[in-house]
Amino acid sequence: MASSILSDCSSSATSRLLPLRRALLAQPSRFRPTTAAAPPRRPLFVAAPLPRTGGMASVSSSSSSAAAASSTDSACAKIIDGKLVAKQIREEIAVEIAKMKDAIGIVPGLAVILVGSRKDSQTYVRNKKKACEAVGIKSFEVNLPEDSSEDEVLKHIATFNSDPSVHGILVQLPLPHHMNDENILNAVSIEKDVDGFHPLNIGRLAMQGRDPFFVPCTPKGCMELLHRYGVEIKGKRAVVIGRSNIVGMPAALLLQKANATVSIVHSNTKKPEEITRQADIVIAAVGVANLVRGSWIKPGAAIIDVGINPVDDPESPRGYRLVGDVCYEEASKIAGLITPVPGGVGPMTIAMLLANTVESAKRIHKFK
């Protein structure tokens, strides 16, 4: 049965992942769109191999709106273009940074600590650094060897915690096996925890009437896509597939804060396809390629696919291609809105990291 082998881990691309106020879920974005093209916002198991299709649709950069419908011949769902939305958000962030620098002479700063030489982690850090430079955020970077001690990492965190020019601290995961992730992440000041992983941030997110300093970047990016594409959340049924601390659980909490009726599908869920088929909104973050089939999808549902999984493809120069947790070829014929993989949630994660860093600087320096 499918539910017996559903994994709860997040995919590797989501391993790293403006404090959340109720206004985020009920008001327009705190950053005003810089182009007229921005869409209106609402108040802020292993699957069988699939035949390859002619490619997934995407929204052209010349599109008049991020919410413009773009679909393949075989798909009826509108494509949620994460690349285009992330680009709009970066433009909005650059404007905010310029205003802050002109008004009070402050430039937001983001510090990244990388331990070891994993190629994927190095790529993530490099992309984050490029994104910071593009919008005007100052980057601080510490690269430590694989055999560094936990104390060395903690010393660097303490230095950044006390540095007034650093407004956000990110420890790149995964850490080497000899290190305690919990000890290291808990050492980051809650006021600079732009990844949103501190237990106090998650705890405040879970409580009624409390707001965290920061929301984890990938779930926040999922919600931003829903808001920017005008997806109604209040009163709707939502299903989150996966319950990781990084994506699944905070995504469910955010949907609940937005007044959706939320169910979580996990490795012990009975008949997950029947539960998922009731959902108006599905966020899949389980790390299993093509797990969610077309038969799981309610017609017209909004599908946010966080997964990014390599599958063998002899036609690709790399020998593989990337697919999501949702079977795109099937789901795109039934859903109303769907994120492609790649090009959907991925670009939003870094955009939300930049947004969190700017919001941290604004809060610390009391700049509105």
Residues with a known catalytic role? 128, 172, 195
> Position of tokens 């997934």?
56
CB 18 within 8 A of CB 355: yes
DSSP state of 170: E
Question: How many whole angstroms separate alpha carbon 247 and alpha carbon 307?
Answer: 10
CB 325 within 8 A of CB 289: yes
> How many CB atoms are closer than 10 A to CB 62?
7
Residue among 75, 51, 120, 58 nearest 315 (CA): 51
CB 82 within 8 A of CB 339: yes
DSSP state of 190: G
Secondary structure, 3-state, 34-64: CCCCCCCCCCCCCCCCCCCCCCCCCCCCCCC
Question: How many whole angstroms separate alpha carbon 339 and alpha carbon 328?
Answer: 9
CB 263 within 8 A of CB 291: no
Phi-psi region of 202 (alpha: psi -120 to 50; beta: other; left: phi over 0): alpha
Phi-psi region of 105 (alpha: psi -120 to 50; beta: other; left: phi over 0): left
